[in-house]
Amino acid sequence: MKKILVFLIVFLLRFGATNNLVAAEINTSFGVWDWKHFENAGSGAYAINFDYQPDDKNRNLNIPILGDVKKIYSLTLYADFNDSFSKKYNIRSSENTSELGGFISAGIEKEFKVFEKLTLIPSFAPSLYGRIDEGKNMGLPLEFKSQVKIRYDFSNSSNFILSYNHLSNANIGNWNPGSDTILFSFKIYELF
């Protein structure tokens, strides 16, 4: 499993760097999933995230009060190689299980220019969550993702994004542990 994850990361870094061939935008980011809730257990959950935005003519929505917002679709996958979730709750059922999971989201985001090169981007998205084997029990498949990104534009062709998101079922289920994710991405739109 580790080899597959490493291959995916290398592949996405190489081929996810440019997207000038298509009108839609796909951003790939990497980070730590559920860092806040299991920091005492030493969680080693790695996260990879893919954000997709449609082409320019299908990207924007005009919502009363919010104004122009952008549609955003996300897929986030995580893998915990330290077995932190099952160790914390003593639920390890066998030696051949994995702590994997992920969620898909569809929502909106709005950009606010803070400075010429610095942009704040809050977003909200309903999400569907799933886990494999001993992945974290989030209570319900229906979750809500609130996120804030800080984007620094080095130039017209490159930027750095730091994002923080919280995933929760808003207490509509009997169990709502929530999770927090920190992600990083560096984007180069044109390599040559």
Q: Please write the tens of the pLDDT for every residue from 104-157.
A: 999 999 999 999 999 999 999 999 998 877 777 888 899 999 999 999 999 888
Q: What is the CATH number of the domain that holds 55?
A: 2.40.160.20
Tokens found for residue 154:
């080095």
Averaged pLDDT, 30-50:
72
Going by the DSSP 8-state scheme, the letter that residue 188 receives in this structure is: E
pLDDT at residue 9, as a whole number: 52
Averaged pLDDT, 18-27:
60
Q: Please write the tens of the pLDDT for every residue from 108-117.
A: 999 999 999 9
Each residue of 159-172: b (16+ CB within 10 Å) or e?
Answer: bebebbbebbbeee
8 Å CB contact between 27 and 101: no
| Number of domains, the chain | 1
User: Which residues span the domain enclosing 22?
Assistant: 2-188
pLDDT at residue 62, as a whole number: 75
